[in-house]
Structure 1
Amino acid sequence: MITYIIIGITVVVSYICFGNQELFRKLAFIPYRTVHNHEWYRLITHGFVHADMTHLLVNMFTFWSFGTYMESAFRYMGLGTGGYLGLYFGGMVAASIYDLIRRRNDPYYVSIGASGAVSAVLFSSILLNPWGKILFFAVLPIPGIIFGVLYLAYCQYMAKRAGDNINHNAHFYGALYGLIYPVLLEPSLLRVFLSHF
């Protein structure tokens, strides 16, 4: 249920921002304004804003695909709605920390989208079910653990190249958060994960 609420709010806010640049700039993650103007809310609000319909649909479809599973898993493990919200929004914040520090004096740097949070949810699902199939390039089914390694390597490679207007660092750090956060809540998950190998 929470997954659908987050998707609904994100779709509505993103759609409004498509035609409202003032609101877009108010909600976007701009590290300079976050630090110098103490606009810390941007660490969360940027996840409700997307560049275009494709960006929005890809993020929300991926979130729906893994979020409904993870929401149920958190409930089953006794981690509840609060734990699940911590996964999603904590992933959003964790994905932004690197750029918050690195870009804090760059007034022109802007980042948007829920990709960091979605990566956190996706990688938590890999933690729980490392051999579950994930569609590589939306076509080829491969084990989640293999997808995860390829994804992290790709993020690091693309972050070093830069220039494609995609925040690969956010994807990378959101993914790492998704692996670490559930284990902090329930340390036995690490033993369960390792037992799959």
Structure 2
Amino acid sequence: MTTTLLIIAVTCVVSFLGFNNAQLIDKLIFWAPAVKRGQYYRFLSHALIHADGAHLLFNMMTLYFFGRVMEGLYDGLLGPFGFALFYAGAVVVAIIPSYLANRDNPAYRSLGASGGVSAVLFAFILVNPWATILVWFVPCPAILYAVAYVAYSIYMDRQRRDNINHSAHLWGAAYGIVFTVLAAPRVVPYFLERLGHPQFNF
């Protein structure tokens, strides 16, 4: 079993258990007061639970399609656990700004793997900018989707009209790009070369 499939399997099992177990959610969800009491595992554990089936399905489908492609890159660069380290680091880094902004807010909670998934997605876009991504079954060039995704996330993060952690999406995306550039600097000229030669395969 690949690392991507293992992450998906564990996340699905824990998420399904959490759908009917409020106590499990309370133990794993990201909650600043608990973190301040030393429960640092919540920086990772919040990515194992989801609000509902749709939330879980969207994240795991995205991870499945793009994680399989990127896993070989990170394992080749960092060893057999390279992708797992990349993903875990993304989950942690993506939630840190939310923690800093809400460390004194006992009402703030966050859950879901979106930070890690965003990192995988944007790392993929970095090496495949003109790949076709289906957005609600509508084909879209990956690089254009990235621009729209970032603009929408920034707008929604400022509006604060929903319960989605758009900040984690943005920081996860940034982590995916920065980590990949630091681990494989050659990806920068490769990205620029690919960007200058648009390919539309709808």
**TM-score, normalisation: structure 1:** 0.94
Q: Indicate the percent of aligned positions where both proteins have the same amino acid.
A: 43
Q: Given that residues 157 and 165 in structure 2 are in contact (C-alpha distance below 8 angstroms), is that contact kept between their aligned partners in structure 1?
A: yes
User: Where do 1:46-195 residues align within 5 Å?
Assistant: 46-75=46-75, 77-136=76-135, 138-195=136-193
Secondary structure of residue in 1 paired with 2:110:
coil
Deviation at 1:79, TM superposition (A): 3.4
Q: Secondary structure at the match of 2:147?
A: helix
Give 1:142 shift. 1.4
Structure 1 pair 68–155 and aligned structure 2 pair: CA distance change class (3 A):
same
- For residues 81-108 of structure 1, give each alpha carbon's deviation from its aligned partner in whole angstroms, at most 9, with x where no partner exists: 3321122111111110111100001111
User: Distance in 1 between the 2:51 and 2:88 partners?
Assistant: 19
What whole-Å deviation, never above 9, does each CA across 1:84-141 have from its counterpart, x for those lacking one?
11221111111101111000011111000000000000000001111111112x2221
What is residue 12 of structure 1 aligned with on the other side? Answer: 13
One-letter amino acid of the counterpart of residue 28, structure 1:
I
> Is the CA contact 1:29–1:111 (under 8 Å) kept in the aligned structure 2?
yes
Change (3 A) 1:155 1:81: farther
Amino acid across the alignment from 2:42: R
Letter in 1 for 2:19: F
Equivalent pair of 1:74/1:83 in contact (CA under 8 Å): yes
Q: Which runs of 5+ in 1 are unaligned?
A: none
Question: Displacement, 1:162?
Answer: 1.0
> Matched residues in 2 for 1:8 and 1:103: separation?
31
Deviation (angstroms), 1:13: 0.4
Offset of 1:74 from its aligned partner?
A: 2.8
Higher mean C-alpha deviation, range 11-20 or range 83-92: 83-92
Taking the aligned partners of 1:112 and 1:29, their CA distance within structure 2 comes to 6
Runs of 4 or more, structure 1, over 4 Å off, are none
- Alpha-carbon distance between aligned partners in 2 of 1:79 and 1:130, rounded to the nearest angstrom: 23
Provide the residue aligned with 2:200 in structure 1.
none
> Is residue 32–residue 103 contact of structure 1 (8 Å, CA) maintained in 2?
no
Q: Distance in 2 between matches of 1:54 and 1:42?
A: 22
Whether the aligned pair in 1 keeps the contact of 2:77 and 2:183 (CA below 8 Å) is: no
User: Does 186-195 or 54-63 show the bigger shift?
Assistant: 186-195
Q: Letter of the 1:26 partner, please give it.
A: K
**Residue 73 (structure 1) shift:** 3.1
Q: CA RMSD in A?
A: 1.2
Q: Which moved more, 1:1-10 or 1:79-88?
A: 79-88
Q: Displacement of 1:143 after TM fit?
A: 1.2
- TM-score, normalising length: structure 2: 0.92
What amino acid is aligned across from residue 164 of structure 1 in structure 2?
D
The amino acid that maps onto 2:87 is: Y
Total equivalences in the alignment: 194
